[in-house]
Chain A
């Protein structure tokens, strides 16, 4: 009898602890987010703040630059520039706290939506076991941006097809695909379906941009004729960065912030990043979006 009671107790302890472990797991299941930009610094600029928030919550974020950025300078170039930019990307990842920043070795300014690049992207998404995939719209200003958008769109659905790139096991379900914000109006303007308050992580985002020295203090000012405006003093550079790269919040983005955070907080947001849902991946409900973007305040 005592043995029976003992066994019963033992069994229930084992069962209970199991239940507990399972519940833990489902609560603590971490999200896998992968972002594709055309160049090292694109992801940082468009989703750096949100990525830092994900990372702070323990979720796994990976940035991928589809080209190595070897054309993005006025006096440096080729492999030497690519090496600088890969190092800058790694430093930016460290500052954002994200898991990885992969720079693929396709040439800058020469990206085409070919099958081999599509397959590189399918492998990246599968290997990251992504819940969310984010990229440029295929209407952004740089052909590399547009073709990155096409390539990632073309990976949607095919990531679940076992006969496609069979060297890498397929995902069990099509992830949610999102677009990064841009200001282009044709054939239709960007729709901020999701807007994230990055006021709290804005500094980290600027730290990440600061890591791409060859871009934010050299190449980009040069392309807009502002090279002479770049401060020599390191401590004045932050102000310079913020003056150029803090995006103002459009009425449409504000409306989306109000939707996701409630009017009070929505109106108070100083810095935001927003995303549009792509039609080719899983189509999430609002409830599912709150699970995929746990930094959104569900009190609406």
Chain B
């Protein structure tokens, strides 16, 4: 009898500890973009929400961004952009790695694939976010391919054996783009980021060289059109990157699916994600566990 009680006690604590673990273990999320600022623009709000809830988020830029300026370049620009990324990471409450591959020269080689595999394994990722392989910049497309190519291989011990494999294939998601071919982005998951939109804009503003110099230059904007003061700049950026949306049907469908109690008309800022076919295919229940902010505003 005594023995049975001990066994029962052991069992119950065991069960208890497991449940605890599942509840308290923070989620590990890794977002992989081509340039320092890509993840911020497409996932910054959701990342801030994860971080606020105590989950661990890492952004990785596969290139150092050393071509992204009209008058600066090379190592000097790479250094500036790495510092900007660090600042953006602090604002969002996440970590930010900038790899040293050259900007505008990213090719999905084995070496880059292995860099991606190591990053995903070292982060012990539950969720991996990447770009679709049909975004506008060749680096974006190639970054998308490199991340897709890491899906599945992250569990294969003989691949980059210097870094222990993951026990299970994570969920792979795509960040949003506007391209229609060969098929348009599918809004599988919608996250309302109204509460953290200012934090996201502040993180974007940390990428000074991009938001107030290179980006406007590529759009043919004059320097005089760009505000100088900090507050004016944030307001200007918010207008450009997070203007209030007129939701179309696919937007409202996605919002209603994940926030059934909310009227999409009262929602201002949303980030959308598409499920990649190459990672774990999550059920709706699993998505709710992996995105614990869903359903709550």
User: Using a CB–CB distance below 8 Å, which chain A residues touch chain B?
Assistant: 114-115, 118, 153-154, 156-158, 160-164, 166, 173, 187-188, 279-280
- Distance between Cα atoms of A154 and B66 in the complex (Å): 18
Which A residues are CB-close (under 8 A) to B52?
A: none
Chain A to chain B contacts (Cβ below 8 Å), 20 pairs: A115-B107, A118-B138, A153-B138, A158-B137, A160-B218, A161-B68, A161-B218, A162-B71, A162-B73, A163-B66, A163-B69, A163-B77, A163-B104, A164-B104, A187-B182, A188-B181, A188-B182, A188-B183, A279-B136, A279-B181
The distance from the CB of A119 to the nearest CB of chain B, in whole angstroms, is 9
A157-B137, A161-B68, A163-B103 given; name 18 further pairs at CB < 8 Å.
A114-B107, A153-B138, A158-B137, A158-B138, A161-B104, A162-B71, A162-B73, A163-B67, A163-B68, A163-B74, A163-B77, A164-B104, A166-B73, A173-B220, A187-B182, A188-B181, A279-B134, A279-B181
B105 within 8 A of A: yes
Q: How far is the CB of B71 from chain A (nearest CB, A)?
A: 8
User: Within 8 Å CB of A115, what residues of B?
Assistant: 105, 107
Which residues in B have their C-beta under 8 angstroms from that of A163?
Answer: 66-69, 73-74, 77, 103-104
Chain B, interface SS category: loop
Chain B residue nearest to A174 (CB atoms) is B218
Total contacting residues, chain B, CB less than 8 A: 25
- On chain B, the residues within 8 Å of A154 by CB distance are 138, 141
Nearest-neighbour CB distance to chain A for B2, whole angstroms, equals 68
Q: Encode B174-190 as 1/0 by CB contact (under 8 A) with A.
A: 00000111110000000
| B64 CB to nearest A CB, Å | 12
Shortest CB distance A113–B (Å): 8
B73, closest chain A residue (CB): A163
Check if A280 sits within 8 Å of B104, measured CB to CB.
no
Q: List B contacts of A158 (CB < 8 A).
A: 104, 137-138
Residues of B that sit less than 8 Å from A by CB: 66-71, 73-74, 77, 103-105, 107, 134, 136-138, 141, 179-183, 218, 220
Q: Is the CB of A157 within 8 A of B105?
A: no
Residue of A nearest to B136 (CB): A280
Which residues from A are CB-within-8-Å of B183?
187-188
- The reply to whether B107 and A162 contact each other, CB–CB distance below 8 Å, is no
CA distance A114 to B109 in the complex (A): 11
Instruction: Give CA–CA (A158, B73) in the complex, Å.
Output: 15
Bound Cα distance A177, B103 (Å)? 23
Chain A residues contacting B73 (CB-CB under 8 Å) are 162-163, 166
**Do residues A279 and B180 form an inter-chain contact, with CB atoms below 8 A?**
yes
Complex CA gap A279/B74 in Å reads 29
A166–B69 alpha-carbon span in the complex (Å): 12
* Alpha-carbon distance A280/B178, docked complex (angstroms): 11
User: Looking across the interface, which residue of chain A has its beta carbon closest to that of B182?
Assistant: A187
Q: How far is the CA of A118 from the CA of B105 in the complex (A)?
A: 10
Chain B residue with Cβ nearest A187:
B182
CB neighbours of A280 from chain B (8 A): 136
Q: Complex: how many Å from CA A181 to CA B107? A: 28
A186 to chain B: closest residue by CB: B182
Chain B residues, CB < 8 A from A118: 138
Of the candidates B70, B136, B137, B138, the one whose C-beta lies within 8 Å of that of A162 is: B70
Docked complex Cα distance between A157 and B104 (Å): 10
B158 CB, min distance to chain A CBs, angstroms:
27
Most buried by A among B69, B71, B138: B138
Given contacts A154-B138, A280-B136, are A161 and B67 in contact (CB under 8 A)?
yes
Residues of A within 8 A of B136 (CB): 156-157, 279-280
Complex interface: chain B residues within 8 A of A114 (CB): 107
A253 to chain B, nearest CB (A): 19
CB distance from B38 to the nearest CB of A (A): 14
User: How close is B225's CB to chain A, nearest CB, in angstroms?
Assistant: 17
Chain B residues with Cβ below 8 Å from A187 are 182-183
- Chain B residues with CB under 8 Å of A161's CB are 67-68, 104, 218
Complex CA gap A160/B137 in Å reads: 12
Q: Which of A163, A173, A188 has the most CB of B within 10 A?
A: A163
Query: Which of A154, A160, A173: most chain B Cβ within 10 A?
Result: A154
Min CB distance B274 to A, Å, is: 16
Cβ-closest chain B residue relative to A118: B138
Taking the closest CB of chain B, its distance from the CB of A5, in whole angstroms, is 42
